Chains A and B, each alone.
Chain A
Amino acid sequence: MLAKRIIPCLDCDLQVPHGRVVKGVEFKQIRYAGEPVELATRYYEDGADEIVFLDITASHERRETMADVIKATTENVFVPICVGGGIRKPADYVNMLRAGADKCSTNTAAIHNPDLINEASKVVGSQACVIGIDAKRRYVSDPKDAPDKTVIATEKGYCWFDCSIYGGREFTGIDALKWASECQGRGAGEILLTSMDRDGTKDGYDLELTRAMSENLDIPVIASGGVGNPEHIYEAFTKGKADAALAASIFHFNEYPVYVVKDYLKEKGVEVRI
């Protein structure tokens, strides 16, 4: 059976030479964690199952910088690499794959142009087409108040999930659960699901969102946003039914290195690669 994957995420600011890894809280405040290539290499050595690079500046001028970061990383890192931020057309996927990446993640570009998913998956395969969904809870007092949305019952009441774009700066009113199903139908191979309510809080993943998403789809779901300790990751797999768990700051600032998280999970009976 498949092992549950532990995925460190590097939010990269590419406006300085070699780039730098930053960490925001609820997509805002910024701390610096180190250089992307250096951190990725450390996580590989610590046992990361995959590494995600997100270009938070996501501008066209930085595309080559990201490709260079990926090229340098993959000389010494031999696990799958996913790149997100600024991927807008099938040629962008091809360029990143040529640089050594295995997957590309798109959010805003796919919402603006859903056909991108069909086109890109034909060119590079579904396995390389990850869709990033940044979802925020929208509470309603009664499911009837949002008849066109997928409303779920949570501990805090009824809510649906709103997709945001541009790194959380804009909301679309698009139902995240419906959008994910559409992405799957169009050829997406995986969903990278970030809870905007939890991101940066260290309160744990939004397990209700993660579970609803995972049960709704046939493709794997990566839980993201809010992890503060290894128990949160354990819950993402058990209660959240996620296939993989993504985390950033607990790894960057060495609170819990990847191998510590994996040892903890193994002890709790979760299948992990050690």
Chain B
Amino acid sequence: MITIIDYGSGNLKSIKNGFLKVGAEVSISSNVDEMRDAEALVLPGVGAFGNAMTQLKEYREVINKHVEDEKPFLGVCLGLQVLFGESQESPGVEGLGVFEGDVLHFPDSMKAQGLKIPHMGWNKLQMENPCPLFEGVGPEYMYFVHSYYVNPSDRNIIAATVDYGVEVPAAVCRGNTFATQFHPEKSGEPGLKILKNFVELI
């Protein structure tokens, strides 16, 4: 059973529908005991870093334990960013610290190049380090919507990037811990393939 962590963020239904579409058993929960028993955890996220960390307070321990136990974990969008130490979006707020590094705002200088912020729309992946999540998935277009991007200290965890004025890490991967900046549940068939790959790791 996959458990999607409900901590008050936006559209959880789509990610649940995505998993159902690829034949997974999935539930949405805000119950810590259910999360502890979950075979796999999914951390979605829409909104601001600081606000998310406040709402994740009671789940912090169960998430970190799940990751330490090497059980399959998938963070999506803000669910990727909160895995890092801190974010320019909410200075002074401590992230989950699963990965070393921080979260940066797109430089304002990008606007002069005609690049709009948020980075919203379909961008094409460039594959970096091998990752089981991308088994059978090539340099496809994925759907992004964000104004901040992660800056991992260890570049070896970066599975894919996209170009948006700066090189944006699109997915990170270490052992059974995965996270994507894009929304696989909104990225058509290639996105569903990524969800299917995650399910197969359980």
Contacts and interface: CB of A to CB of B under 8 A. Distances in A.
Interface of A: 1-3, 5, 44, 49, 71, 74-76, 78-80, 94, 97-102, 124-128, 189-190, 217-220, 243-244, 273
Interface stretch (B8-16, B97-105, B150-158, B169-177): B8-16
B93 interface: no
Given A127-B145, A189-B118, A190-B120, A78 B18 contact: yes
Nearest to A126: B118
B52 to A, nearest CB: 11
A2 B143 contact: no
Interface string B106-132: 000001000011111111100000000
A273 B11 contact: no
B122 A273 contact: yes
B99 to A, nearest CB: 23
A36 B22 CA distance: 24
Contacts of A80: 143, 145, 183, 186
Which of A2, A79, A219 is the most central at the interface, judged by chain B CB atoms within 10 Å of its CB? A2
B11 A2 contact: no
Interface residues of B, number: 37
A100 B121 contact: no
Given A3-B124, A243-B121, A244-B121, 14 more contacts: A1-B123, A2-B123, A3-B122, A75-B21, A78-B18, A78-B185, A78-B189, A79-B143, A80-B183, A94-B10, A124-B46, A125-B46, A127-B118, A127-B145
Nearest to B140: A273
Contact of B11 (A44, A101, A126): A101
A126 B116 CA distance: 13
Given A75-B17, A99-B13, A49 B120 contact: no
Interface in B127-163: 141, 143, 145-147, 163
Interface of B: 10-14, 17-18, 20-21, 46-48, 111, 116-124, 141, 143, 145-147, 163-164, 183, 185-189, 191-192
Contacts, number: 100
Nearest to B111: A218
A5 B188 CA distance: 14
Given A71-B13, A124-B46, A79 B121 contact: no
A76 to B, nearest CB: 7
A5 B14 CA distance: 20
A217 B188 CA distance: 29
A262 to B, nearest CB: 11
Nearest to A71: B13
6 contacts: A78-B185, A79-B186, A100-B17, A125-B46, A126-B118, A189-B118
A76 B122 CA distance: 19
Contact of A2 (B14, B119, B189): B119
A3 B185 CA distance: 18
Contacts of B183: 80
Given A78-B188, A79-B188, A2 B10 contact: no
A78 B21 contact: yes
Contacts of B13: 71, 74, 98-100
A124 B78 CA distance: 13
Contact of B121 (A71, A99, A124, A220): A220
A71 B17 CA distance: 10
A79 B183 CA distance: 9
Which 10 pairs across A and B sit closest by C-beta, in order of nearness?
A: A273-B141, A2-B121, A100-B13, A3-B122, A97-B10, A127-B145, A273-B122, A97-B11, A80-B186, A125-B47
A226 B127 CA distance: 39
Contact of B14 (A1, A74, A220): A74
Contacts of A5: 121-122
A94 B124 CA distance: 30
Nearest to A219: B116
B116 A243 contact: yes
Which of B121, B186, B192 is the most central at the interface, judged by chain A CB atoms within 10 Å of its CB? B121
Contacts of B116: 217-220, 243
A49 B14 contact: no
Contacts of A49: 121-122
A75 B197 CA distance: 19
